[in-house]
Amino acid sequence: MYALDFFCGAGGLTRGLSDAGIEVVAGFDNDEACGTTYRDNNEGIEFYLSDVRELTVDQLHMTGEGPWLFAACAPCQPFSNQRRTTTVHKDATLLGELGRLVSAVRPTYVLVENVAGIARVPGFSTFRRFLRKISGCGYQYAYGVLDAKHYGVPQTRRRLVLLASRWGAPTLPDATHGSHRRDVCTVRDAIGHLPPIEAGGHADGVANHSAARITARNLERLFNTPIDGGDRRSWPDELVLNCHRKTKGYTDVYGRMTWGKPAPTLTSKCNSISNGRYGHPEQNRAISLREAAAIQTFPDDYVFHGTAGQVAKQIGNAVPVTFAEALGRHILALQSTFKDDIREA
C-alpha cells in the first residue's frame, strides 16, 4: 500500500505509517521548518513545500498502482477547544481542500486525524461537508474519538479519527492499552532514561534535549511545586499570580507531570511551564524538547530542526508515532479482509 501525507508537519504520521509497513511516497506541508525536519528523518520520502489549497492532481506524483491511502492531519486550530474567537480561521477550509483531492483521485482509503471538536461544530460544518463529499464519491466511513494513551502513547490525547474506504465498510482499531489490557505507558516510561539538565540547559550528545530558560520568580514557583504531580495550589501566597487569585481552575498551568501516569495533551507550547502541566516531574524546569518528542513517541534519533519555538510547534502538532502506527496496521488488516471478501465473491 502507498500513501501520501497531507499537512505532514515534522512527520509523525509518516513515520508511524512507515513503521506499520505502508510505503509513504511523499509529504506535503507549507512550513519550511517542518520540511527540514521531515527530510532529515524520512530518507527516501519526498517532501513538497506546498499549500494544499494550490495542489493539483498532477503534482501528487502518484506512480504506483496502489492501493493508495490519503492521510491527513489538517491544522486543528480552527476547531480547538482553546480557541476563543468566533472569527473564521484561515485554515478552516483545509479539510475541504483534502476533499477536493479525494474527489478527483479516488484513493482506496482516506485517514483523517484532528481534534475532537471538529465533529461538534454546529450547522453544515467543514467536517459534515467533507463527509457528504466523500459519501458522494462512493466511500463508506467510520469515525470516532480515540485516546492515544489506549494505543501505547504515554499521553492523554483525545483525537477524532476518520477512516474511509471504497472497498468496504471500515472500522476503527480496538484499544490495546488500559482497561484490562496492557498497562498504559507513563511519563517515566517515556523520559526516565534521559539525563538530567537545568532550566536553560542542554545535554551534549542527546539531540534536542534542551530546556527553556525561566525567570528567577518562576524558578522559585517550581521550587515550591511538589514533585511528581504537584501544582500551584501549594505555593505560598506571595508567589500566587493575580490572575489565579479569583479562580480555583486552571491548576495545570505551572504544574508538574506525574511519573506514573500518562502526560497531559501536548500542545505547540509544550516546553513552557506557563502554558500547561509541562513541568518536569522532579527537576525544576519545563520538559525539554527531547522529552516532549519522546512523549509523542518519536525515537530519540529523530532530530528536529528550527528555533525552540518552531521545534515545540512541530512536536506538539504531530500525530504521535505509535498512534499512527496502530492506525496504519489497522488499515492494512482491513485491506487484507477486503481482498479476501472480494475473492470469495
- Residues identified as active-site: 76
The strand pair at 23-29 and 2-6 is best described as parallel
Distance CA 119, CA 108 (A): 23
Angle at 229 between CA 228 and CA 233, to 5 degrees: 125
Helix (H) or strand (E) holding 342: helix 321-344
- Cell numbers at 127, concatenated: 467536517
Q: Please, are residues 119 and 127 in contact by the beta-carbon 8 Å criterion?
A: yes
Grid coordinates of 70:
490519503
How many whole angstroms separate alpha carbon 98 and alpha carbon 56?
11
In whole angstroms, what is the distance from residue 307 CA to residue 83 CA? 24
Q: Which residue has the cell 525536519?
A: 37
Q: Report the 3 state secondary structure along 9-62.
A: CCCHHHHHHHHHCCEEEEEEECCHHHHHHHHHHCCCCEEEECCHHHCCHHHHCC
All 3 cell numbers of residue 260? Answer: 506514573
User: Of 305, 276, 275, 274, nearest to 289 (Cα)?
Assistant: 305
To which H or E segment does residue 3 belong?
strand 2-6
